[in-house]
Amino acid sequence: MSKNPIILGIETSCDETAVSIIQDHESGIPKILSNIVSSQVDIHKEFGGVVPELAARSHVEKINLIAKKTLDESNMRLENISAVAATAGPGLMICLSVGLNFGKALASSLNVPFIGVNHLEGHALSPKLHTNINYPYLLLLISGGHSQFLSVNGLGKYKRLGTTIDDALGEAFDKTAKLLGIEFPGGPKLEKFAERGDSNKFDLPKPIISKGGCNLSFAGLKTAILRITKNIKTEQEKYDLAASFQKTIEEILSIKSKIAFDEFLKINSVKKKSFVVAGGVAANNGIRKKLIQTSNNNNFEVIFPNPKLCGDNAAMIAMVGMEMFKLKKFNNLDFPVTPRLPLDKNAAFLKGAGIKL
Ligand code: KG4
Ligand code: ZN
């Protein structure tokens, strides 16, 4: 057996049942031996959103099978696994419990270390599955539940520079898609809609664009879109609105990224300026193009995870597990499910009415 550690990762924080096996490599970039993501889209489609009880039930039904398939595909045997890493939070409590308990049981039966992983740290480290990146780096995390700029100074070492004060960006995409009549999950489909439209047709607001540093806000956009959709009559107008939304988001992220660059450089002195954009929304091609341009103009190297690693997956959980394993950071089997688990534990809670920016 190779002495390079092999980590089995498990992810069940929301509506994807995912298991992956990765192996450490001398290049510093681990090999993904297998990476299976079983999506529950068909289960939740008719409800227009994720139903936690149905999601948890489906995780229970599938986790064993997915783990077995992952193992078969990796050509490994259970005895080869060096440690088991599972998402402990943030996410839906009853969904997290399924993967975390499965992971604990597996680690215990194999007599190998167990590692509880922060899902957001999985996104933060996801491009390390194919690119060597040195700490510190600037991170823009844009997913269904989070939108944040963070300085990533090492494993478990995060300083939040900015966050959304209301909706997450993925949420804004999904809600806008719903208003345009696009079926769940709307985010990725909205981008396709936008390709057929004129992005200059509607002038949408850019909330808190000239205040609040690199904090973000998307709720005002959703309200504006709700108002416009009431008067929309043709399919073409829908495409135009989608295109205008897409363009507005690109501009907001570009302006706020420039502010984040400055804030990052104020607290870090680096030879190479790296900017990682991760999370489900990082799969958006328009956002990628715009942020490549913004980064080039500001001497930052922008790094995106491969599109397949942007959405929820267990390879990114195994990646965090790998770094923890190397530092011998293991957890006990009473490690709790933690539905709210920020990356920067010292950052103030910034949501709701009456926030002063
Ligand atoms: O990271 P992720 O898979 O799950 C969470 O941790 O939340 O992110 C899911 C979010 C959803 O809101 C989905 O609509 C959005 O990412 N998303 C996209 C695209 N692909 C996924 N939003 C915009 N454009 C895309 N291409
Ligand atoms: Zn996620």
Distance 170 CA to ligand 1 centre (A): 5
pLDDT digits (tens, 9 = 90+) for 204-262: 999 999 999 999 999 999 999 999 999 999 999 999 999 999 999 999 999 999 999 99
- How many residues are recorded in the chain? 357
pLDDT digits (tens, 9 = 90+) for 90-140: 999 999 999 999 999 999 999 999 999 999 999 999 999 999 999 999 999
**Domain-located, residue 339:** no
Ligand 1 contacts CB of residue 305 (under 6 A): no
Distance 249 CA to ligand 1 centre (A): 14
Q: What are the residues whose beta carbons fall under 8 Å from the beta carbon of 127, sequence distance 6 or more?
A: 133, 276, 278, 303, 304, 305, 306, 309
Atom index in ligand 1 nearest the CA of residue 186 equals: 14
pLDDT digits (tens, 9 = 90+) for 323-347: 999 999 999 999 999 999 999 999 9
**Domain-located, residue 72:** yes
Are 250 and 275 in the same domain? yes
Are 118 and 146 in the same domain? no
Are 124 and 29 in the same domain? yes
pLDDT of residue 353: 56
Closest CA to 174 of 141, 119, 208, 221: 221
Ligand 1 contacts CB of residue 220 (under 6 A): no
pLDDT of residue 352: 67
Residue 233 neighbours by CB distance under 10 Å: 7
Are 124 and 96 in the same domain? yes
Q: Which domain holds residue 177?
A: 134-304
Residue 114 neighbours by CB distance under 10 Å: 22
Distance 310 CA to ligand 2 centre (A): 8
**Domain-located, residue 340:** no
- Strands of the sheet containing 137-142, edge to edge, are 157-163, 147-154, 137-142, 274-278, 301-303
pLDDT of residue 351: 75
Q: How many helices (H) and strands (E) does the chain have?
A: 10, 10
Pocket probe for ligand 1: among 39, 247, 281, the residue whose CB has the most ligand atoms within 8 Å is 281
Distance 1 CA to ligand 1 centre (A): 38
Residue 48 neighbours by CB distance under 10 Å: 13
Ligand 1 contacts CB of residue 312 (under 6 A): yes
Would the CA dihedral through 250, 256, 262, 267 be positive or negative?
Answer: negative
Are 121 and 138 in the same domain? no
| Whether the predicted pLDDT of 349 surpasses 90 | no
The pLDDT-based confidence of 355 (bands split at 50, 70, 90) is low
pLDDT of residue 354: 59
Atom index in ligand 1 nearest the CA of residue 285 equals: 26
pLDDT digits (tens, 9 = 90+) for 288-325: 999 999 999 999 999 999 999 999 999 999 999 999 99
Atom index in ligand 1 nearest the CA of residue 145 equals: 7
Closest CA to 237 of 225, 248, 249: 225
Largest Cα–Cα separation, the chain: 66
Ligand 1 contacts CB of residue 279 (under 6 A): yes
Six-digit token pair at 272?
A: 């190479």
pLDDT digits (tens, 9 = 90+) for 28-63: 999 999 999 999 989 998 888 899 999 999 999 999
**Domain-located, residue 333:** no
Strands (E), 49-112: 83-89
Are 95 and 203 in the same domain? no
Q: What are the residues whose beta carbons fall under 8 Å from the beta carbon of 181, sequence distance 6 or more?
A: 238
Atom index in ligand 1 nearest the CA of residue 187 equals: 14
Ligand 1 contacts CB of residue 188 (under 6 A): yes
Tell me the pairing of strands 274-278 and 137-142: parallel
Six-digit token pair at 200?
A: 């200059």
The pLDDT-based confidence of 188 (bands split at 50, 70, 90) is very high
pLDDT of residue 265: 98
Are 148 and 296 in the same domain? yes
The pLDDT-based confidence of 357 (bands split at 50, 70, 90) is low
Ligand 1 contacts CB of residue 122 (under 6 A): no
Percent of the chain clearing pLDDT 90 (strictly above):
93
**Domain-located, residue 337:** no
pLDDT of residue 183: 87
Are 150 and 73 in the same domain? no
| Whether the predicted pLDDT of 185 surpasses 90 | no
Q: How many domains does the chain have?
A: 2
Cα(118)–Cα(146) distance, rounded to whole angstroms?
A: 13
Ligand 1 contacts CB of residue 121 (under 6 A): no
pLDDT digits (tens, 9 = 90+) for 149-179: 999 999 999 999 999 999 999 999 999 999 9
The pLDDT-based confidence of 350 (bands split at 50, 70, 90) is confident
Of 40-44, 80-84, 232-236, 265-269, the one with minimum mean pLDDT is 40-44
| CATH number of the domain enclosing 34 | 3.30.420.40
pLDDT of residue 356: 66
Taking CA atoms only, the protein residue closest to ligand 1 atom 12 is 170
Are 67 and 160 in the same domain? no
Is this model's pTM higher than 0.75 or not?
A: yes
Are 154 and 275 in the same domain? yes
Six-digit token pair at 227?
A: 């108002």
